[in-house]
């Protein structure tokens, strides 16, 4: 097990290096000189060249990349923002907690609502309650998230005036962003939970449990739920990671000073150190979350756990990995 | 040759016969067709031009002349929604076309050859997928510069790894079938085997994903336009219209409501049709 974790963590390093390389290549290939953008159209050619030298933009490609990578590893230096002239690492650290809080609360909220709704729909199959739950979740999936955010702002912020529409100075400010973040996740979780639950309820051991004369409650919550939850965990993990990307929009709409808003500002200003570093950090978090999900998967499912113990099952393990990756893709 | 054609027809007919049983899927199909027709015949159907401004009649509610009212520049919202269908659908369909074609090709190559080819492609996709898809699309669109074409490229590129992985899994199941072996034994070229034998047989499960993918591309495309990275003004697009109406949501919420509803209906139709197709294509459900 430890070896597996170690292997996965080691695999993370080339991935992150490659991401930094790719981001730099894309930035390099795009037209538009950052020094020119910074100085404005009135600057002379000499001024632009001077700034290019200062920013290190005249160095060869690999020199710039190497300086960037070694800066991160040796000094924790992610570069300096071209706009604010402050270290990117410091700015990101200040903003990090907002994004993390938003994503965690949003995901928790989605789990607390989505899973019960899914169980409810599955246990009431072939009734109007099930149809309603399915229909609502389909609508929620088909809705643009940013549009839903605007609708809740209009309803709770403007019409009823019970919640603030932007800023997170008080706890009340978090409610609308979290609801907006969670909507899509709730719907997908409910659908996944429902189908897994229906699948599980058809298994033989459920018939056995019923035949033993256990109450329906006990059958559903003790016997079926445990098994039906396993695939859901992967989905939750994938969504938790995916919402790191989704938080970009939510943070901009609700003006939350998080990492997403920082990235967006960087993209709009073509502030390359900011773009590069925030994509790197978000991807790093995303990869770590996916790793945690894989490990959790092993913790909850004894069938997978046993594969870590048996070395000969290596091929199968790989197959499972691929399968899981595909599920995650479908979820995201 | 003749029998082959007949068989193809009957297969399509069989899928249609199954699909017909699912009322929701059929309705969704017609809704989608209707939206496509509206987009194609926009100049005929729209009562006004999408960029025709009228300062005297800005921010109107529903009137006889302007069924859905006008926006802050006095442009007819109904006309803009009708023209917006064009851009939104172009974005959805082109992005999925790019993503699916590249993804299917990569997936087919990776799945068919296996070994180190597969290994390299998969590791490259790992790198690709370490960036959350939304972030990737936004970053690409922003770096390439805001325009409809760049938004389509960004969305298409973002869709590639998902399709590649699915196609790879699908190809692996047909790779060792007898008909592939037979083709090989007849000295059929590898390219021909992949194009003629592998892809048509492995593409079944992809059809559902592509149908639903159109929906999610429309959704992501609207999002890109919403943050100003997609269709540029004065062109009409549903996401861009929501973005324009955002400033006046306190006074005129309906300006924001209608384009959002359009996005929702089209995406819902894609999802329902995809669900229906999945059931129709599943041979286990046939009887």
Buried b (16+ CB within 10 A) or exposed e, B39-70: beebeeebebebeebeeebeebeeeeebebbb
Contact B227 A18 (CB under 8 A): no
Give me B169's structure tokens.
């899994």
Give helix A2-29 / helix B133-144 axis angle, nearest 10°: 20
What DSSP state is assigned to residue A87? Answer: B
Q: Does residue B4 carry a pLDDT above 70?
A: no
Of B134, B140, B271, the CB nearest to A138: B271
3-state secondary structure of A80: strand
> Which ranges of B50-189 does DSSP label H, i.e. alpha helix?
77-113, 115-129, 133-144, 148-174, 178-185
More confident of the two residues A319 and A32: A32
Q: State the greatest distance between any 2 C-alpha atoms of chain B, in Å, as a whole number.
A: 76
Of B130, B144, B264, the CB nearest to A286: B130
Residues in chain B within 8 Å Cβ distance of A27 = 143
What number is the average pLDDT over the span B36-60?
82
Q: Does residue A66 carry a pLDDT above 80?
A: yes
- Whole-number Å distance between alpha carbons of A268 and A154: 27
Contact B226 A249 (CB under 8 A): yes
What number is the average pLDDT over the span A115-128?
89
Residues above pLDDT 70, as percent of chain A: 90
| pLDDT, position B9 | 64
> Which ranges of A202-255 does DSSP label H, i.e. alpha helix?
204-211, 216-218, 225-253
Residues B146-179: tens digit of each pLDDT: 889 999 999 999 899 989 998 998 888 888 888 8
Cβ-contact A142, B267 below 8 angstroms: yes
Residues in chain B within 8 Å Cβ distance of A150 = 242, 246, 249, 256, 260
Q: Does residue B37 carry a pLDDT above 80?
A: yes
| pLDDT, position B60 | 75
**Residue A324 confidence class, pLDDT cut points 50, 70, 90:** low
Q: Does residue A327 carry a pLDDT above 60?
A: no
> Which ranges of A124-158 does DSSP label H, i.e. alpha helix?
128-142, 145-152
φ, ψ at B189 (rounded to 5°):
-70, 155
Contact B138 A267 (CB under 8 A): yes
More confident of the two residues A314 and B82: B82
| pLDDT, position B36 | 93
Residues in chain A within 8 Å Cβ distance of B145 = 30-32
More confident of the two residues A49 and B272: B272
More confident of the two residues B200 and B156: B156
Task: Report the range out of A224-233, A262-271, B109-118 with the highest average pLDDT.
Answer: B109-118
| Mean pLDDT for all residues in chain B | 85
3-state secondary structure of A78: coil
- Whole-number Å distance between alpha carbons of A103 and A240: 7
Reference A263, options A271, A87, A255, A55; nearest CA is A271
Contact A267 B145 (CB under 8 A): no
| pLDDT, position B3 | 52
| pLDDT, position B285 | 58
- Torsional class of A31: left (φ above 0), alpha (ψ -120 to 50), beta (otherwise): beta
What number is the average pLDDT over the span A100-120?
91
Buried b (16+ CB within 10 A) or exposed e, A273-302: bbbbbbbbbbbebbbebbbebbbebbeebe
Which residues does B170 contact at the CB level (< 8 Å), separation at least 6?
A: B107, B111, B202, B203, B204, B205, B206
Q: What is the ipTM of this complex?
A: 0.85
Smallest CA–CA distance, residue B162 to chain A, in Å, is 6
Cis peptide bond upstream of B234, omega within 30 = yes
- Whole-number Å distance between alpha carbons of B61 and B64: 10
| pLDDT, position B154 | 92
Q: Does residue B106 carry a pLDDT above 60?
A: yes
- Whole-number Å distance between alpha carbons of B235 and B256: 16
Chain A / chain B CB contacts < 8 angstroms: 140
Residues in chain B within 8 Å Cβ distance of A25 = none
Instruction: Among A216-220, B86-90, B115-119, B282-286, name the one with the lowest average pLDDT.
Output: B282-286
Q: Which residue has the tokens 């459900």?
A: B285
Reference B74, options B50, B49, B54, B51; nearest CA is B54
Give the B window 219-238 contacts with A, CB below 8 Å.
219, 222-223, 226-227
Q: Does residue B126 carry a pLDDT above 80?
A: yes
Residues in chain B within 8 Å Cβ distance of A23 = 139
Q: Does residue A16 carry a pLDDT above 50?
A: yes
Contact B132 A286 (CB under 8 A): yes
- Whole-number Å distance between alpha carbons of A42 and A118: 61
Q: Is B249 part of the contact surface with chain A (CB cutoff 8 Å)?
A: yes
| pLDDT, position A322 | 55
| pLDDT, position A331 | 46
Of B131, B250, B256, the CB nearest to A279: B131
More confident of the two residues B60 and A155: A155
| pLDDT, position A312 | 45
Contact B134 A245 (CB under 8 A): yes
Contact B242 A147 (CB under 8 A): yes
- Whole-number Å distance between alpha carbons of B227 and A210: 53
| pLDDT, position A313 | 46
* Helices (H) then strands (E): counts for chain A: 15, 0
* Interface test mutation site (partner B, options A16, A24, A144, max chain B beta carbons within 10 A): A144
Smallest CA–CA distance, residue A8 to chain B, in Å, is 12
User: How much is the pTM?
Assistant: 0.84
Residues A201-212: tens digit of each pLDDT: 888 888 888 888
**Residue A287 confidence class, pLDDT cut points 50, 70, 90:** confident
Which residues does A112 contact at the CB level (< 8 Å), separation at least 6?
A: none
**Residue A325 confidence class, pLDDT cut points 50, 70, 90:** low
- Whole-number Å distance between alpha carbons of B247 and A173: 20
What number is the average pLDDT over the span B115-126?
88
Residues B214-269: tens digit of each pLDDT: 999 999 999 999 988 888 888 888 998 898 888 888 888 888 888 999 999 999 99
Of A19, A142, A326, the CB nearest to B268: A142
Residues A136-195: tens digit of each pLDDT: 998 998 998 889 998 888 888 888 888 887 777 788 888 888 988 888 889 989 988 998
| pLDDT, position B1 | 43
- Whole-number Å distance between alpha carbons of A280 and A24: 11
Q: Does residue B283 carry a pLDDT above 70?
A: no
More confident of the two residues B2 and B157: B157
Q: Does residue A229 carry a pLDDT above 50?
A: yes
Residues in chain B within 8 Å Cβ distance of A279 = 131, 135, 139
Smallest CA–CA distance, residue A218 to chain B, in Å, is 32
Of A27, A267, A282, the CB nearest to B132: A282
């Amino acid at each position: 097990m430890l070896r597996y974790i170690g292997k996965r963590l080691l695999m993370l390093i080339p991935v992150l290096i490659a991401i930094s390389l790719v981001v730099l290549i894309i930035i390099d290939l795009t037209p538009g000189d950052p020094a020119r953008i910074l100085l404005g159209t009135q600057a002379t050619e000499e001024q632009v060249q001077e700034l290019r030298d200062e920013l290190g933009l005249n160095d060869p490609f690999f020199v710039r990349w190497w300086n960037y990578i070694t800066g991160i590893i040796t000094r924790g230096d992610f570069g300096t923002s071209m706009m604010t002239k402050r270290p990117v690492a410091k700015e990101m650290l200040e903003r990090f907690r907002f994004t993390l809080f938003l994503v965690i609360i949003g995901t928790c909220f989605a789990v607390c609502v989505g899973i019960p709704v899914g169980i409810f729909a599955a246990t009431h199959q072939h009734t109007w309650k099930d149809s309603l739950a399915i229909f609502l979740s389909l609508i929620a999936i088909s809705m643009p998230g940013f549009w839903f955010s605007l609708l809740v702002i209009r309803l709770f912020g403007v019409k009823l005036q019970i919640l603030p529409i932007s800023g997170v100075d008080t706890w009340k400010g978090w409610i609308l962003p979290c609801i907006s973040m969670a909507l899509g996740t709730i719907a997908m979780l409910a659908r996944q939970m429902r189908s897994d639950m229906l699948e599980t309820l058809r298994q033989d051991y459920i018939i056995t449990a019923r035949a033993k004369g256990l109450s329906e409650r006990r059958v559903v919550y003790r016997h079926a739920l445990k098994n039906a939850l396993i695939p859901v965990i992967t989905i939750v993990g994938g969504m938790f990671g995916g919402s790191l990307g989704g938080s970009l929009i939510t943070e901009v709409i609700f003006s939350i000073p998080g990492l997403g808003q920082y990235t967006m500002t960087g993209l709009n200003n073509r502030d390359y150190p900011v773009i590069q570093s925030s994509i790197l950090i978000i991807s790093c978090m995303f990869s770590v979350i996916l790793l945690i999900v894989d490990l959790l998967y092993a913790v909850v499912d004894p069938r997978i756990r046993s594969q870590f113990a048996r070395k000969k099952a290596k091929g199968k393990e790989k197959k499972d990995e691929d399968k899981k990756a595909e599920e995650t893709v479908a979820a995201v | 040759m003749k029998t082959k054609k007949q068989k193809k027809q009957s297969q399509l007919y069989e899928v249609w016969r199954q699909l017909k049983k699912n009322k929701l899927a059929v309705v969704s199909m017609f809704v989608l067709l209707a939206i496509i027709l509206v987009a194609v015949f926009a100049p005929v159907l729209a009562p006004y031009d999408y960029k025709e401004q009228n300062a005297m009649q800005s921010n109107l509610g529903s009137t006889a002349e302007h069924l859905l009212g006008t926006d802050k520049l006095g442009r007819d919202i109904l006309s803009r929604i009708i023209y917006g269908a064009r851009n939104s659908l172009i974005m959805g369909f082109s992005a999925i076309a790019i993503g699916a074609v590249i993804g299917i090709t990569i997936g087919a190559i990776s799945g068919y050859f296996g070994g180190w080819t597969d290994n390299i492609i998969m590791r490259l996709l790992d790198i690709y997928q370490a960036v959350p898809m939304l972030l990737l699309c936004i970053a690409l669109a922003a770096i390439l510069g805001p325009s409809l074409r760049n938004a389509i490229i960004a969305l298409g590129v973002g869709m590639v790894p998902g399709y590649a992985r699915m196609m790879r899994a699908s190809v692996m199941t047909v790779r060792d079938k007898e008909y592939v072996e037979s083709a090989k034994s007849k000295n059929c070229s590898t390219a021909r085997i992949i194009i003629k034998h592998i892809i048509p047989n492995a593409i079944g499960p992809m059809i559902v994903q592509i149908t639903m993918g159109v929906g999610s591309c429309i959704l992501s495309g609207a999002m890109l336009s919403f943050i100003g990275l997609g269709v540029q003004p004065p062109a009409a697009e549903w996401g861009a219209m929501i973005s324009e109406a955002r400033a006046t949501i306190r006074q005129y919420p309906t300006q924001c409501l209608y384009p959002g509803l359009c996005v929702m209906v089209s995406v819902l139709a894609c999802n329902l049709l995809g669900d229906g197709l999945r059931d129709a294509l599943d041979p286990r459900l046939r009887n």
